[in-house]
Structure 1
Amino acid sequence: MNFQDKHVLITGASRGIGKATAIAFAEKGAKIGLNFRSNLEAAKETLAELPGEGHQLFQQDISEKEGAQELITKFVNHYGSLDILVNNAGISIFHDIEEVDFEHWTSAWENTFKTNLFAISNLCYWGAKTMMESGGGKIVNVSSRGAFRGEPTKPAYGASKAALNSMSQSLAKKLAKHNIHIGVVAPGFTETEMAAVTLTPVERENLLRESPFQRMAQPEEVAHAIMFLASEGAGYSSGTIIDVNGASYLRS
């Protein structure tokens, strides 16, 4: 896959899947816009690891309604065009219905959808408008296995990702005439820096047992699927949802 001089915007790019995706695209010649919300130190570290030149940090809270337009505008003003948009940023909030009060419950739903669905829909809107003017482009949205199997202690997370899948496929149909391709990657639990810090030994062991491979996904494996959907040869795969969960959850 060759992405020489392609302009790629990646949200949530300072760590984990976003970081691995940025490195993978940069290794193939792309110029990367790294979006992050608050962790400037981590974003700078990722920027320093990217091979090649022309990469740029874009600090923006995309959960705010105006944030999406501002981010796309800043990116296009800097690079001149947007070729590939990777919507990776997302949040996951514990809200077990047996344990939390109503205020926590409603707050979890509101904040999860604000970031995991509404922010991405806004980015798709402004990103697609830009791509229409330039003759096309690629949008890849990062979903989750939780959209299909359910998330008992974080139902808003599973619901937001299921809605993201549906929105992505609707846009794949609508935007095809503009040469804009939409793809989705649905990872299982992924071995990130955050997972290493937050998982207890028991939780880690349970996660390892979920897959017949007896391990979690690596960020680079998710990045590989993202790059495929963004590649020139994958245009007819628009509307596709790629599972990257190590056969831990199989859907028909």
Structure 2
Amino acid sequence: MNLPPSGRRVLVSGASRGLGRAVAQTFAANGDRVAVHFGSRVDDARLTLESLAGTGHVLVGGDLTRPNGVAAVVDMASEALGGIDVLVNNAAVNIRHPLAETPYEEWAAVWQQHVAVNLLATANLSHLAARLMIEQGTGGRIVNVGSRGAFRGEPDHPAYAATKAAVHALGQSLAVSLAPYGIAVASIAPGFFATERVAPRLEGPEGESIRQQSPFGGVGSAEEIAGAVLWLSSPAAEWSSGTILDLNGASYLRS
């Protein structure tokens, strides 16, 4: 039930910019057809779509914080592509909320938002996409974008770290339950990497300290992370199902 190395039908959540855009571009360059999901940044998503090599790609908008919104996204992607072979769970929020500085009402709201987008949307997308893959009978791939923060902690972003740890655990559970159907599930745990969103931090006073977190003296690129996602989605990576792949330039080593 292995998938071909290219020509697959790929849904990438949160693909309007940043890592999601790089992932979509990488799959398209590989000869795959991509459903570019966006929440509210439709103009950015159109730029992503226009940047993709090949043909047959599609924009899919939808609110992933609502179960029926998730269902609509999967339905639209599946209908436009003729099915789904690969799901990349990239959509996420990351809002600063250190406990000592954050009022309780804001704290509670931020946690709800992180759980809704980072964890529940990932779980719901995975359920619907995996059921499609099971019905198709040709196997499939699910790759979750987690974080280094799930292991080392994020004092200013505790909800982000906690939900990414849950995403890692979810991926491992699904790897076991979906293996009999030829569906491999893996996660990546990136460290700091450059995108337009974090460019001001890298260019500002803390930039050097961020770069020095890695003994390489720099940060990763979205394209490097996307390349790892592509490999984990490949036929060659089936035996990596259940893995959590660290991509942090040796900035954090776990046993």
TM-score norm. by structure 1 comes to: 0.97
Report the aligned-residue RMSD. Answer: 1.3
1:181 aligns with 2:180: no
The 5 Å alignment of 1:1-252 reads 3-135=5-137, 136-197=139-200, 201-252=204-255
Once residues 107 and 97 of structure 2 are traced to their aligned partners in structure 1, the CA distance between those partners, rounded to angstroms, is: 6
d(CA) in 2 for partners of 1:118, 1:212: 35
Shift of 1:199: 5.3
Q: Deviations over 1:109-153 (max 9, x none)?
A: 111111000010000110111011012210000000000000101
1:236 alignment partner, SS class: helix
8 Å CA contact retained: 1:3, 1:25: no
CA positional deviation for 1:81: 1.1
CA distance in 1, matches of 2:91, 2:166: 15
- Name the TM-score, length of structure 2 as normaliser: 0.96
Is this contact kept in 2: 1:183–1:229, CA < 8 A? yes
Structure 2 CA distance for aligned equivalents of residues 66 and 198 of structure 1: 36
Give the aligned length. 252
Counterparts of 1:198 and 1:115 in 2: how far apart (Å)? 24
Tell me the distance in 1 between the aligned counterparts of 2:200 and 2:62.
25
Secondary structure of 1:77's aligned partner: helix
Deviations 1:202-242 (A, max 9, x none): 22222111001111110011001101110011111100111
Q: Which amino acid aligns with 2:250?
A: A
Contact 1:172 1:181 in 2 (8 A): yes
Shift of 1:93: 1.2
Identity in percent: 44
For residues 17-56 of structure 1, the C-alpha deviation after alignment (integer angstroms, 9 at most, x for no partner) is 1111111111110001000011111111111111111111
What are the superposed Cα offsets for residues 46-84 of structure 1, whole Å, 9 maximum, x if unpaired?
A: 111111111110011112221111111111111211000
2:194 partner SS: coil
CA distance in 1, matches of 2:207, 2:69: 35
Q: Report the AA paired with residue 79 of structure 2.
A: N
Q: Is the Cα contact below 8 Å between 2:56 and 2:81 reproduced in 1? A: no
**Secondary structure at the counterpart of residue 64 of structure 2:** coil
Residue type of the partner of 1:50?
L
SS at match of 1:98: helix
Give the residue type in structure 2 aligned to 1:215.
G
Q: SS of the residue aligned with 1:160?
A: helix
SS at match of 1:54: coil
After the TM superposition, list the runs of 4 or more consecutive aligned residues in structure 1 that deviate by more than 2 angstroms: 197-200
The amino acid of 2:59's aligned partner reads: L
- Aligned residue type for 2:88: V
Cα distance 1:37–1:198, how it changes in 2: closer, same or farther (>3 A)?
farther
Q: Distance in 1 between matches of 2:18 and 2:238?
A: 26
**Which stretches in structure 1 are left out of the alignment for 5+ residues?**
none
